[in-house]
Structure 1
Amino acid sequence: MTHGTLWLPYTQMRTALPPLHAAWTDGCRIGLEDGRVLIDGIASWWTACHGYNHPHIAEAVRHQLARMPHVMLGGLVHEPALRLADRLAALLPGDLEAVFFAESGSVAVEVAIKMAVQYWLNRGERGRTRLVAFRGGYHGDTFATMAVCDPEEGMHSLFQGVLPQHHLVSLPHDDAAEAELDGFLATNRTGIAAILVEPLVQGAGGMRFHAPEMLRRLRRLADRHGLLLILDEIFTGFGRTGSMFACEQAGIVPDIVTLSKALTGGTMALSAAVARRHVFEAFLSDDPTHALMHGPTYMANPLACAAANASLDLFEREDRLGQVATISSLLAEQLEPCRILPGVVDVRVMGAIGVVQLDRIADMNALKARLVAQGVWVRPFRDIVYLTPSFTITTDQLATLTRAIHQALGRAG
């Protein structure tokens, strides 16, 4: 075991190949201990939107480290958290203005679920404990979030007998499916707290895209049946789909939105569940039990908030969405030749997301090795090879990534 005592994620430790040993990062590159340099095609699980080691973020973190690395948020507040909350509320559409910080995306989704269930309890409506989630969806690996993922996708199927039971349905892609979901909600609405969906892209469930109209359908259905709508923008937020937030493309405002991943520019762990005014007001009461009784130890960590504020500075100062548009065009052009390769069933692009869909990946380890041999870091999973690069990637680096995928798949047989 070359990793020693380290237990790796999503890895069968008995049969896995030895992990590569990263030594440094810079821009869109990862340097390995053995001297090789890889172009990162997935921005460290979609987080490093500005590339690695951006000097503006690094300086902000250094400054905050010297001043105050951490202080509890219980009974205390600090300027980085106050400023970040204000800025997120100003960026998000509508009256999404009550910002609750946590450390990870999974926890942010758990907080959103807790908010939704307690919203109804505080209003005197008991029994609204279930969520409506969607096939192909993924929202995290903690127990509450596993319960709203698609169990058929494999990662969480072992725990079906342990997890809370929610309603798992199909996305309403057309009028007939919307009518079917409408009928389901009419029958079950008194037990439902909220509808939960990843807007525009179901990420870890297979990079499945849907149109903005889908979100408008869900907003209409939520309003018709008096339900909360939660959008999980942990992957899609901060420019990944081509707009700052995916919900903007549908012109809707969710009742709660979750954020993480690129929030700090891939520098520190931080997440947020942000609620609309009417959700927050349901927790205001003379009754102390109506408070949201949740408080992650490192919530609103000042270092992470400083990194996030610096990341938002970069979105303001530099044309990140313009860069995403350029990446989108290049991905569409450069991945299209993969469509005629054996085993390829689809090629699709949205924003800075490019996906080559296969009928299957026969030997995942061999495919990963071929990609690394060409100097790129790409992590295929299930039946897709995908790219989610940093927005600051150069055209040459992007071409290297797309060429490596084409060549690796071309030799897959």
Structure 2
Amino acid sequence: MKNLNSINLDNKYIWHPYTQHKISPTPIRIVSGNMTKLKDDKGKTYIDLISSWWVNTHGHCHPYISKAIYKQSKKLEQVVFGGFTHDPAITLSKKIIKILPKKLKKVFFSDNGSTAVEVALKIAYQYWINKKKKKKTFIAFKNAYHGDTVGAMSLSSGSELFSVFKELFFKIKLFNYPSTWYGDREIDEKENLILNKIENEFKRNKDIAGLIIEPLIQGSGGMNICRKEFMKKLSNIVKKYNNLLIYDEVMTGFGRTGEIFACKKIKSEPDIICLSKGLTGGFLPLSLTVTTNKIYNSFLGHDFDKALAHGHSFTANPLGCAASIASLSLFESKKVLKNIKFIEKEHYSFSKKLLKLSFIEKIRICGTVLAFEVKGFGAGYKAVLPNKIKKFFLKKGLLLRPLGNVIYLMPPYCILKKELKYAYKIIYEGLEKIK
């Protein structure tokens, strides 16, 4: 009775994200989590194969992070960050700067991935104004997803998700993202075409304020993966024209691509980087926008006009900072890095089995992310896989959330070999039901 009452109250009061409530199934009530597992109100457990929208890194309710938050909560839970500071913010900034590319030196705090991107846009835009060179056009990529706030949506204007808001968007230039997969024989041609078009845009258009990209993996756009060689060449073009390179590593950061950051894997130094999701290990909302001393110094002056007029009530929240410090400490363990490599290796083994299914295509892997597409159900975010397949996965205890016709795995790094093997087995069985 209590379970039913809770769901009734949910239906009465709550508006869920990315949900058409008229046709959506009743939400599953989760009551607890432990490492890779989530437990519902009926005692059923699910393996979280998507890290709860890509935020969980070390596992649910990881005791080390839990203790760090509790310890900080007894000392300082919140303080205004304008005109004040605190040790958790200082320690976190020092730790994050230490592991980022060398020229990234200044940390700006905000609340989530969308706001990290908004801050990056405002920094890039005002940077040129402060230098007496007003530029207002950004280069972005089709199928990109940078967040749900208006500026971030503008960058994702090529996405079908946000078409209803298009009259609110600012001016951008969109280019194709060179997605690749097993057996892609056209990738060199695709990359060269895109790179040539982007370079020509920089040559002729003096209004470009910056280029923003999800390096190596586009997340919500369909887990599209590009090669690091493309990213390196793209980086060189932006630098050649003395423009600003912005990496949105909200999803790719903290180990998802196989390295701590995608920019490390690429061996590329952006001018601005956006971090969130895995920053706190999935415990609390927090984000960082990190930039160079050169950009930061352009905001210095003897009046407020040159300052960055941006801030949030919970900027640099001490509890979020404490969680992030603890999470970064766990990344220093060789075990975590070993687990990341283990997941990637297991994905490659399973992908060979997927190749046997004629209706599965465009298999791709980058670090802990495995993605593939199911033919015959359309393409894009609004493509719909049969409900019976989704129900089958849930019935068998797998938490998956396909992106249209794209099925992907992005598990927490603590996942066990037996859990991955079980997940692969059930996914294969589910796919055979489609056939």
TM-score grouping bracket, smaller chain normalisation:
over 0.9
Cα deviation code 1:52-111 (max 9, x no counterpart): 111110000000111111111011100000100111111101220100010110000000
Report how far residue 159 of structure 1 moved.
1.4
Query: SS of 1:160's equivalent?
Result: helix
Report how far residue 204 of structure 1 moved.
0.8
- In 1, Cα distance between equivalents of 2:372 and 2:216: 17
Indicate if the aligned counterparts of 1:199 and 1:233 stay in contact, CA closer than 8 A. Answer: yes
Residue 13 of structure 1 corresponds to: 21
- TM-score by length of structure 2 reads 0.92
Residue 140 of structure 1 corresponds to: 147
Query: SS of 1:99's equivalent?
Result: strand
Residue 35 of structure 1 corresponds to: 43
Match among 283, 305, 315 for residue 321 of structure 2: 305
Cα deviation code 1:177-209 (max 9, x no counterpart): 322221122111x21100000000011111011
- In 2, Cα distance between equivalents of 1:262 and 1:362: 28
- In 1, Cα distance between equivalents of 2:355 and 2:83: 57
Residue 388 of structure 1 corresponds to: 410
Query: SS of 2:56's equivalent?
Result: coil
Residue 198 of structure 1 corresponds to: 214
- In 1, Cα distance between equivalents of 2:17 and 2:195: 37
Residue 51 of structure 1 corresponds to: 59
> Given the superposition, is the C-alpha separation of residues 47 and 358 from structure 1 closer, same or farther in structure 2, using an over 3 Å criterion?
same
2:116 counterpart of 1:108: yes
Read off the aligned partner of 1:165 and give its amino acid letter. Answer: K
Residue 243 of structure 2 corresponds to: 227
Match among 306, 323, 338 for residue 322 of structure 1: 338
Indicate if the aligned counterparts of 1:17 and 1:365 stay in contact, CA closer than 8 A. Answer: no
2:167 counterpart of 1:174: no
Report how far residue 312 of structure 1 moved.
0.6
Indicate if the aligned counterparts of 1:336 and 1:347 stay in contact, CA closer than 8 A. Answer: no
Q: Which segments of 5 or more consecutive residues in structure 1 lack a partner in the other structure?
A: none
Report how far residue 150 of structure 1 moved.
4.4
Residue 90 of structure 1 corresponds to: 98
Match among 135, 157, 167 for residue 161 of structure 1: 167
Report how far residue 362 of structure 1 moved.
4.7
- In 2, Cα distance between equivalents of 1:376 and 1:59: 28
Indicate if the aligned counterparts of 2:384 and 2:404 stay in contact, CA closer than 8 A. Answer: no
Report how far residue 366 of structure 1 moved.
2.4
Query: SS of 2:364's equivalent?
Result: strand
Q: Which segments of 5 or more consecutive residues in structure 2 lack a partner in the other structure?
A: 1-6, 179-189, 378-382
Read off the aligned partner of 1:291 and give its amino acid letter. Answer: A
- In 2, Cα distance between equivalents of 1:305 and 1:230: 23
Indicate if the aligned counterparts of 2:392 and 2:430 stay in contact, CA closer than 8 A. Answer: yes
The percent identity for this pair of structures is 33
- In 1, Cα distance between equivalents of 2:229 and 2:193: 14
Query: SS of 1:340's equivalent?
Result: coil
Cα root mean square deviation, aligned: 1.4
Indicate if the aligned counterparts of 1:364 and 1:380 stay in contact, CA closer than 8 A. Answer: no
Query: SS of 1:196's equivalent?
Result: strand
2:95 counterpart of 1:62: no
Query: SS of 2:371's equivalent?
Result: strand
- In 2, Cα distance between equivalents of 1:133 and 1:312: 30
Residue 72 of structure 1 corresponds to: 80
- In 2, Cα distance between equivalents of 1:150 and 1:371: 32
> Given the superposition, is the C-alpha separation of residues 409 and 150 from structure 1 closer, same or farther in structure 2, using an over 3 Å criterion?
farther
- In 2, Cα distance between equivalents of 1:402 and 1:192: 45
Query: SS of 1:195's equivalent?
Result: strand
Aligned length: 410
Q: Point out 4+ residue stretches in structure 1 off by more than 6 angstroms.
A: none
- In 2, Cα distance between equivalents of 1:171 and 1:383: 18
Indicate if the aligned counterparts of 2:385 and 2:405 stay in contact, CA closer than 8 A. Answer: no
2:433 counterpart of 1:411: yes
- In 1, Cα distance between equivalents of 2:264 and 2:235: 13
Report how far residue 318 of structure 1 moved.
4.1
- In 2, Cα distance between equivalents of 1:99 and 1:234: 15
- TM-score by length of structure 1 reads 0.96
